[in-house]
Amino acid sequence: MKITSYITWIFSIVFLAGCGVNTMKVNTMQTEDFAENKKSFKKIICIAPNFKKYTDREMDNEDYLASWKIKEKFARETERWSKASGFQYVVYFPSAEAEDQQAIYTKLLPLRRSILMAISNQANSLNEVDNSMFSDENKGVFVVNTVLPAEWSKLSEEFETPYFSMIEMYANDNKSFFIHIVADVLKGRIEYQEIRRYSGKVKPSYLQHVLYDSFRTLKKNLKGGKKR
């Protein structure tokens, strides 16, 4: 009887070690008619995929150089895996070799800031503020599709598509956040957003897996997946 009891305890610990250390949380939000727009959802302008790493110490030159290399890799992988998933993401990245891209990137930066502001007050895993002032009712005002400034609608003519995307990753040693946002500048709203939270330290080789998962999730939602 004692042996059986010991074995049961060992078994429980091993089991919990296997399934309790997880893992990844994903939260997607989309508009009601998002899946109906899949035919027009072809060309998407991606504004400079951004990878930012936070450390406890002050960053030096080598850290910035490493961060820049990861950003370049992140941009390449974004283009690669968007095509592999059947999307036409046009990535504008501030590359030193292409001056025209640098100009477009500078032009799109204010839009990027507007999109970030639009999602900054939402009740999502990026904004885990435990404050009574941010009650569920107050958060609810901002939760779905905060309006973007109307002046960005002119960008749809210039880029021949109303869809603009933002893909960013923020990482520290313990966890990482990945966000993937698609905004419609003609309607002035965020059509789709995906926020992932990973536990553990990120490695450059993981980026392709993160992007693959993200584009596959977008594809699944465009096929009429679960709406929120």
Partner 1 sequence: MKRLFLTLLILILFANISKGQVGFLGKRLAIKTNAISGLEGLFSGFEVEYVVKRNLTFCVGFRTSNYATNFNFADFENINSWIRNQENIFSNPIGLKFENISYTEPNTNTITQGFKNKVKDGDMKSVRRVYDFSFRLYSNSYLSAPHGFYSQYGFGFGSQTYEGGIYYPNKIEEVFNSNFNSVNFYEESFERYKKKENFVNVYFGLGYQHVFSKWVTLDFNVNMGAGVIANSKKSNQNSYGNENLAIILNDEKDFSRIGNLLGNGNKKIDEFNSLSNPFSSFYLSGFVKLGILVF
Q: How far is the CB of 207 from partner 1 (least distance, A)?
A: 9
Nearer to partner 1, 25 or 42 (CB): 25
Nearer to partner 1, 40 or 199 (CB): 199
Nearer to partner 1, 168 or 184 (CB): 168
How many angstroms separate the Cα of 92 from the Cα of each of 79, 136, 172, 196? 10, 37, 25, 23
Residues making contact with partner 1 (CB under 8 A): 4-5, 7-8, 10-12, 14-24, 26, 176, 198-200, 202-203, 206, 208-210, 212-213, 216-217
Closest listed residue to residue 46, CA positions, set 143, 161, 212: 161
Q: How far is the CB of 216 from partner 1 (least distance, A)?
A: 5
Nearer to partner 1, 13 or 147 (CB): 13
Q: How many Å apart are CA 52 and CA 170, to the nearest integer?
A: 5
- What the block records as the tokens of 41 is 């959802």
Q: How far is the CB of 23 from partner 1 (least distance, A)?
A: 5
Q: How far is the CB of 191 from partner 1 (least distance, A)?
A: 20
Nearer to partner 1, 17 or 133 (CB): 17
Contact 190, 69 (CB under 8 A): no
**Cβ atoms within 10 Å of 129's Cβ, excluding its own:** 10
Nearer to partner 1, 104 or 207 (CB): 207
Strand 163-171 vs strand 50-53: parallel, antiparallel, or unpaired?
A: parallel
Q: How far is the CB of 175 from partner 1 (least distance, A)?
A: 9
| Number of residues in the chain | 228
- What the block records as the tokens of 139 is 């958060």
Q: How far is the CB of 177 from partner 1 (least distance, A)?
A: 12
65: Cβ–Cβ under 8 A, 6 or more apart, which residues? none
Q: How many Å apart are CA 152 and CA 16, to the nearest integer?
A: 50
Phi (first) and psi of residue 163, to 5 degrees: -95, 130
